[in-house]
Amino acid sequence: MHLIEQIDSWSQSHPGRIAHISGDTTLTYQQLTSQSNKLAQHLLTAFPNDHSPIALLGHKQTEMLAGFLGCIKAGHPYIPLDSSLPTQRVEAIVRTADATLLTVDQLKEIIANTDVPDNFKIHAPKIGNPWYIIFTSGSTGIPKGVTITRRNLENFLEWILDEQDFKEAGEVFLNQAPFSFDLSVMDLYSSLATGGTLFSVSKDEIAEPKKLYKSLGSSGVTVWVSTPSFARLCLMDINFSEKMMPHLRKFWFCGETLAPEIASTLLERFPNAEVWNTYGPTEAAVATTSILITKEIIAKYRPLPVGRPKPGTLVEVHAEDGQPTPSGERGEIIIAGPNVSPGYVNQMEATSKAFFILDDQRAYHTGDWGHVQDDLIFFDGRMDFQIKLNGYRIEIGDIESNLHTVSNVQDAVVILAMKNERADYLAAFVILKSRPEQTDFEIMREMKKQLGERLPDYMMPRKFVFLSEFPTTPNGKVDRAKLAETLQ
Ligand code: AMP
């Protein structure tokens, strides 16, 4: 069955079941189908014979879900954009994808003012057509749009629905990640495909722990989907335990390293819940490997493994010559299979650099170091300047390129400061064109203001250090290690 038909089928079999809870607002499956049909009808009329992307700008509002499905039903891929993104970044994304932008307020208006005729028919994507485009940080300063086709998404879903054995119309999925990150696809579509309820926590709730715990406590969440960073934050409160969330039976992580102490504390505090680690880049549709983390696994491995490949997908660790490395030896993690994206939208060069063909399958260079041991894949860090900070994927080059557009910046280098082997904060080292009659604090404030017009908050350096020159390595490159040492 086409995924969109599967989702719509819940409005027939369970019309009153809640599809989405966001703050005080709920949306039933019947409302989801009706609202998405209205949006599709509007798009079909406004853009006949057009399949160009639609960028949807909002946060966790229920209309966003209706918007995603409305685009799909009208044959348009959608680009989820979070309202916390600065305008210039939204504009850059819309330009790169050649997309039409709709805000959540416009979605509300369309839903209120559109009638759906009796002969309404959905124009959902064929198997190889794009379903969504998710933009990630790009090293040149321009975000890269990863196209995910219906085949990619359905292939991912087939695997996890089989592996995770969710109850039909019985689960409540936590949605922590903004819809603009592919981690949210894990909860969104697992929920919609199984007639589940998506329980969103907003960024305002996350910023206020008291509100957050209250909300989690009354959520009825059965499946927790988040970055390990978010679980770490929640574990800071001793009351975050089975008593607070008695229905929780699964923690499902992706996106960054799952530290053994987080996994073991969760198993202690939630003795009836499973902890899963999954791994994969946006370019290979959310996750590609998985493993159930047991006490035995925690006792045996440091770091924890990221698991085994999903069936039908090849995950190998390659040496520089493109051949698989022997067991235990480090190399680049390569992914090949039906979940691998066709590439970055309108960015041929970046696409041909990262994607290739392996054994007749579409393949992706993850840029991740890894090794295989006991038939398990292990993640050993990045080969380049891509980092994860609080679960967010960031290209250091993206921040540096944007820093170079700030007036009075001659040169800039950004370093990720580490604490106890964990990513802590970003520091910008800047050489100014000329030294104004201002304090460092005043200069930094002005820089942050200008940079904030281009970069989201999570990419903003916390610390600025002004230098007259950078230390260099013997071959004349900026000595990043030396700069990092100054942050210890
Ligand atoms: P994203 O596209 O935001 O999902 O980021 C993908 C990158 O996050 C991967 O290439 C890895 O560098 C990192 N990553 C994803 N999952 C894991 C994991 N389970 N453990 C360690 N790193 C991960």
Q: What global pTM score does this model have?
A: 0.96
Say which residue the tokens 């067991």 belong to.
327
Which residue is closest in CA terms to ligand 1's atom 23? Answer: 256
pLDDT, tens digit, for every residue of 220-236? 999 999 999 999 999 99
Closest CA to 469 of 457, 483, 455, 485: 483
pLDDT, tens digit, for every residue of 364-407? 999 999 999 999 999 999 999 999 999 999 999 999 999 999 99
Tokens of 71: 């685009």
Tokens of 389: 């900070």
- Which pLDDT value is given to residue 407? 93
pLDDT, tens digit, for every residue of 307-347? 999 999 999 999 999 999 999 999 999 999 999 999 999 99
Mutate-to-test residue for ligand 1 from 368, 376, 416, 458, highest number of ligand atoms within 8 A of CB: 368
| Integer CA distances (angstroms), 439 to 269, 271, 404, 412, 447, in order | 48, 53, 20, 18, 12
Question: What is residue 28's three-state secondary structure?
Answer: strand
pLDDT band at 349 (very low <50, low <70, confident <90, very high): very high
Report whether pLDDT(488) > 90.
no
CA dihedral sign of residues 126, 127, 132, 135: negative
Instruction: Measure the CA–CA gap between 324 and 333, rounded to whole angstroms.
Output: 10
pLDDT, tens digit, for every residue of 55-80? 999 999 999 999 999 999 999 999 99
- Which pLDDT value is given to residue 1? 78
- Which pLDDT value is given to residue 30? 98
Radius of gyration of the chain, Cα coordinates, nearest whole angstrom:
23
Which residue is closest in CA terms to ligand 1's atom 8? Answer: 255
Q: Strand 78-82 vs strand 54-58: parallel, antiparallel, or unpaired?
A: parallel
Give Cα 109 distance to the centre of its chain: 28
pLDDT, tens digit, for every residue of 414-468? 999 999 989 999 999 999 999 999 999 999 999 999 999 999 999 999 999 999 9
Q: Which atom of ligand 1 is nearest the CA belonging to 379?
A: 21
Mutate-to-test residue for ligand 1 from 156, 229, 379, highest number of ligand atoms within 8 A of CB: 379
Instruction: Measure the CA–CA gap between 123 and 44, rounded to whole angstroms.
Output: 9
Q: Which domains, and CATH codes, for the chain?
A: 3-300 (3.40.50.12780), 390-485 (3.30.300.30)
Regarding the beta carbon of 281 and ligand 1, being less than 6 Å apart is answered yes
> Contact 292/249 with Cβ under 8 angstroms?
no
Q: Going by C-beta distance under 8 Å and a sequence separation of 6 or more, which residues neighbour residue 353?
A: 365
Mean pLDDT of the 468-477 span: 93
Q: Going by C-beta distance under 8 Å and a sequence separation of 6 or more, which residues neighbour residue 62?
A: 20, 22, 25, 26, 27, 31
Task: Give me the chain's average pLDDT, please.
Answer: 97
Find out whether the peptide bond into 305 is cis, omega within 30 degrees of 0: no
Question: What is residue 209's three-state secondary structure?
Answer: helix
Rounded to 10 deg, the angle between the 150-164 and 183-194 helix axes is 70
pLDDT, tens digit, for every residue of 119-144? 999 999 999 999 999 999 999 999 99
As separate numbers, helices (DSSP H) first and strands (DSSP E) second, the chain gives 16, 25
**What does the angle CA 99 – CA 131 – CA 100 come to, to the nearest 5 degrees?**
15
Regarding the beta carbon of 423 and ligand 1, being less than 6 Å apart is answered no
| Strand order from edge to edge, sheet including 308-309 | 25-28, 18-22, 197-200, 172-175, 223-226, 250-253, 274-279, 289-292, 308-309
Regarding the beta carbon of 332 and ligand 1, being less than 6 Å apart is answered no
Which residue is closest in CA terms to ligand 1's atom 10? Answer: 281
Report whether pLDDT(9) > 90.
yes
pLDDT, tens digit, for every residue of 84-116? 999 999 999 999 999 999 999 999 999 999 999
Q: Strand 54-58 vs strand 130-136: parallel, antiparallel, or unpaired?
A: unpaired
pLDDT, tens digit, for every residue of 14-51? 999 999 999 999 999 999 999 999 999 999 999 998 99
Question: What is residue 51's three-state secondary structure?
Answer: coil
Instruction: Measure the CA–CA gap between 156 and 134, rounded to whole angstroms.
Output: 16
- Which pLDDT value is given to residue 411? 96
Q: Exposure pattern of 220-234 as b/e (b: 16+ CB <10 Å)? A: ebbbbbbbbbbbbbb
- Which pLDDT value is given to residue 485? 95
